[in-house]
Amino acid sequence: MSDNALPFSQLVLASNNPGKLKELQAMLGAHIDVLPQSQFIGEEAEETGLSFVENAILKARHAARASGLPALADDSGLAVDILGGAPGIYSARYADGQGDAANNAKLLDALRDVPDTQRGARFICALALVRHADDPVPIICEGAWEGRILHAPQGEHGFGYDPLFLVPEQGVSSAELPPEQKNQLSHRARAMQLLRARLGLV
């Protein structure tokens, strides 16, 4: 598919997270202009789904309905093995909506006496793209990034749980990776690679 064959040149990102907007715009490149949903609507969709995919679809439909444009939603989070996959879909509000630092502190507390060998975890990303609010065949792309939870935050880049997520093959936390390198390795990057292929952008 050529660039001209893309069915749209703009889409709305169903998030008010500036970090996600910046990352996803960088990954999509100049082919598609990514607009924040805050240009059209204030409140975010209620995430009532029981999986990343369900919540991504809910958010994408919400943004498409508000804007009248195609919408892309990213639902992502951290799944820690020894915690049975928690915080999972509740990653962003793990510490009752008190923000990244509180989420990280709560996770470290939950893993306080857990040895390195049992601190396996992965970031999960589900992307859902709807062409319109009632699109019966949303495009779903998923990516995972395997790693381990550190004992203390490291690094200044990124957002969310990045300072606690050790990237084994790099030997550093996600927050210590330059943004351009993270955008090639991350769960979001892997899901976006699949999406770009579906849209003919590779």
Residue 19, Cβ density class (10 Å: 0-12 exposed, 13-18 middle, ≥19 buried): middle
Q: How many CB atoms are located within 10 Å of the residue 72 CB?
A: 27
End-to-end CA, the chain: 9
Run of H or E including 137:
none
Catalytic-residue membership of 75: yes
Q: CA 184, CA 188: separation in Å to the nearest integer?
A: 9
Report the SS3 class of residue 170.
Answer: coil
For the chain, strand residue ranges (E) read: 10-13, 33-36, 71-80, 120-130, 139-149, 165-167, 172-173
- Say which of 74, 75, 100, 162 is annotated catalytic: 75
Which phi and psi (to 5°) does residue 125 adopt?
-135, 130
Active site residues: 75
